Amino acid sequence: MKKIALLLVSILIVGGMTANAQGLVVKAGFNYTNANSVQDLKGGKSGWLVGVGVQSESWTGFSIQPELIYKVKGVTLEDATKLSMNYVEVPVNIQWGPDLLIARPFVFASPFIGYNLKNRFSKETTLAETINKNFHRFEYGLGLGLGLNVWKLQIAGKYNWNFGRITTWGDAVDNVKGLDPAAKTFEISVGLKF
């Protein structure tokens, strides 16, 4: 219940910041989930994202851009089953960069929370069933990135670390580290400011 309340408060913060907004940003992009050496995990998988954000006025180079993002990310399991995870994420991008009149390069930190809406497996297996049964729906973490605003375009690259575990099936089965497929995700996005 506390996690749902935290998600709702974050969404209200995003909505409340629109009053001091410089502009609405509609964005889309691609991501790749980095799958490290984890039991029953073969490798990463690419995905996509779409969403909206609200960028605040720049103050001494700083601006805040909260967003509401729908993101699909995933991994490939050892038995060649592909797992796609669908999330709603609320990142708050804290940006800093000089305004060079025609462009604004920036760096940013992006704490985020997210909620898993559904999982999709390319085929039903015992491993897929076990992972889905022990899946954690909430995620939280931090992203770091670089970006560039040119006219009404915003181009950004970001590396996300998920601090929570995705599922604990490994601990339950044979006392090894649980599956942590979304721990590191790299994403590239392009936004259009209105």
Type of residue at 186: F
Instruction: Look up tokens 């000089």; give the residue.
Output: 98
Beta bridge partners of 98: none
Q: List, for residues 139-186, the tens digit of each pLDDT value.
A: 899 999 999 999 899 999 999 998 877 766 554 444 334 455 456 899
Q: What does the angle CA 165 – CA 37 – CA 83 come to, to the nearest 5 degrees?
A: 60
CA distances from 64 to 56, 75, 93, 185 (A): 5, 31, 6, 22
Question: What ranges do the domains of the chain cover?
Answer: 2-193
Q: Give the pLDDT confidence of 51-85 residue by residue, as tens digits.
A: 999 999 878 889 999 999 999 988 777 777 788 88
Enter the CATH code of domain 2-193. Answer: 2.40.160.20
